[in-house]
Amino acid sequence: MPVEMLRELPLDQILLGDAGTMLRMLPDASVNCVFADPPYNLQLRGELRRPDDSVVDGVDDDWDKFDDFAAYDAFTKVWLSECRRVLNKDGTIWVIGSYHNIFRIGAMMQDLGFWILNDVIWRKTNPMPNFRGRRFTNAHETMIWAAKSKQSRYKFNYQSMKALNDDLQMRSDWTLPLCTGNERLKNVHGLKLHPTQKPEALLHRVIMASTGPGDVIVDPFLGSGTTAAVAKRLHRHFIGIERHPAYVEAAWGRLAAEERAPRNAVVAPPSGRETPRIAFGSFVERGIIRPGTQVMDKQRRFAAEVTAEGGLVSGPHRGSIHQVGAAVQNAPSCNGWTFWHYERDGQLLALDVLRKENKEG
Amino acid sequence: MPVEMLRELPLDQILLGDAGTMLRMLPDASVNCVFADPPYNLQLRGELRRPDDSVVDGVDDDWDKFDDFAAYDAFTKVWLSECRRVLNKDGTIWVIGSYHNIFRIGAMMQDLGFWILNDVIWRKTNPMPNFRGRRFTNAHETMIWAAKSKQSRYKFNYQSMKALNDDLQMRSDWTLPLCTGNERLKNVHGLKLHPTQKPEALLHRVIMASTGPGDVIVDPFLGSGTTAAVAKRLHRHFIGIERHPAYVEAAWGRLAAEERAPRNAVVAPPSGRETPRIAFGSFVERGIIRPGTQVMDKQRRFAAEVTAEGGLVSGPHRGSIHQVGAAVQNAPSCNGWTFWHYERDGQLLALDVLRKENKEG
DNA sequence: TCGGAGAATGAATCGTCGG
DNA sequence: TCCGACGATTCATTCTCCG
Give chain B's length.
361
Lowest mean pLDDT among A104-113, A192-201, A206-215, A309-318: A309-318
First-to-last alpha carbon distance for chain A, in angstroms, is 52
Give the closest of A103, A118, A173 to B103, CB-based.
Answer: A103
Strand runs (DSSP E) across chain A, as ranges?
13-16, 31-36, 87-97, 115-124, 140-147, 173-176, 216-219, 237-242, 294-296, 303-306, 312-314, 317-319, 341-344, 347-350
φ/ψ of residue A341, rounded to 5:
-130, 160
| Residues contacting residue A293 through CB under 8 Å, at least 6 positions apart | A305, A306, A342
The one-letter amino acid code at A347 reads Q
Q: What is the pLDDT of residue B157?
A: 95
Q: What is the pLDDT of residue B22?
A: 97
CB contact under 8 A, B99 and A118: yes
Lowest mean pLDDT among A170-174, A309-313, B2-6, B96-100: B2-6
Nearest to B98 by CA among B46, B56, B48, B42: B42
Give chain A's length.
361
**Cβ atoms of residues A312 and A318 within 8 Å:** yes
Q: Is the dihedral of CA A172, A178, A184, A189 positive or negative?
A: positive
| Domains of chain A, CATH where assigned | 13-260 (3.40.50.150), 264-357 (no CATH)
> Mean pLDDT across the stretch A215-241?
98
Distance CA(A32)–CA(A86), nearest Å, equals: 9
User: How many Å is the Cα radius of gyration of chain A?
Assistant: 21
Q: What is the pLDDT of residue B361?
A: 37
Count of CB atoms situated within 10 Å of the CB of B202? 25
State the pLDDT confidence band at A346, using cuts at 50, 70 and 90. confident
Lowest mean pLDDT among A210-219, A269-278, A291-300: A269-278
Q: What is the pLDDT of residue B168?
A: 92
Q: What is the DSSP annotation of A240-299?
A: EEES-HHHHHHHHHHHHH--PPPGGGSSPPPSSS----STHHHHHHTTSS-TT-EEE-TT
Nucleotides of D under 7 A from a protein CB: 5-15
For the segment 114-173 of chain A, residues whose CB is within 7 A of strand D: 125-133, 137
Which comes out higher in pLDDT, residue B262 or A171?
Answer: A171
Residues B168-194 as b or e (16 or more Cβ within 10 Å = b): ebbbbbbebebbeeeeebeeeeeeebb
Q: What's the gap in Å between the CA of B250 and the closest CA on chain A?
A: 33
Q: What is the pLDDT of residue B175?
A: 94
| Residues contacting residue B18 through CB under 8 Å, at least 6 positions apart | B241, B243
Distance CA(A184)–CA(A198), nearest Å, equals: 9
State the pLDDT confidence band at A86, using cuts at 50, 70 and 90. very high
| DSSP alpha helix (H) spans, B135-237 | 158-164, 200-210, 226-233
| Strand D at less than 7 A from CB of B169 | yes
Distance CA(A251)–CA(A240), nearest Å, equals: 9
| DSSP alpha helix (H) spans, A6-101 | 19-23, 69-86
Q: What is the pLDDT along chain B (361 residues), one digit of tens a residue?
A: 456 788 899 999 999 999 999 999 999 999 999 999 999 866 554 555 544 555 544 444 444 455 789 999 999 999 999 999 999 999 999 999 999 999 999 999 999 999 999 999 999 999 999 988 999 999 999 999 999 999 999 999 999 999 888 889 999 999 999 999 999 999 989 999 999 999 999 999 999 999 999 999 999 999 999 999 999 999 999 999 999 999 999 999 999 999 998 887 787 766 777 777 788 988 988 889 999 999 998 888 899 999 888 889 999 999 999 999 999 888 888 999 988 989 888 788 889 888 878 754 3
The one-letter amino acid code at B251 reads A
Q: What is the pLDDT of residue A329?
A: 92
Give the closest of B104, B111, B116 to A99, CB-based.
Answer: B116
Distance CA(B244)–CA(B194), nearest Å, equals: 11
Q: What's the gap in Å between the CA of B184 and the closest CA on chain A?
A: 24
**DSSP tag of B146:** E
Q: What is the pLDDT of residue B346?
A: 79
For the segment 296-325 of chain A, residues whose CB is within 7 A of strand C: none
First-to-last alpha carbon distance for chain B, in angstroms, is 59
Q: What is the pLDDT of residue B62?
A: 46
Residues A29-47 as b or e (16 or more Cβ within 10 Å = b): ebbbbbbbbbbbbeeeeee
φ/ψ of residue B304, rounded to 5:
-155, 175
| Residues contacting residue A334 through CB under 8 Å, at least 6 positions apart | A322, A323, A325, A326
Q: Find the nucleotide nearest A127 (Cα to C1′).
A: C10
> Mean pLDDT across the stretch A138-144?
98
Q: Which residues does chain B have within 8 Å of residue A48's beta carbon, measured at their own beta carbons? A: none
Distance CA(B306)–CA(B322), nearest Å, equals: 13
**Cβ atoms of residues A15 and A201 within 8 Å:** no
Give the closest of B109, B138, B169 to A137, CB-based.
Answer: B169
Distance CA(A97)–CA(A104), nearest Å, equals: 10
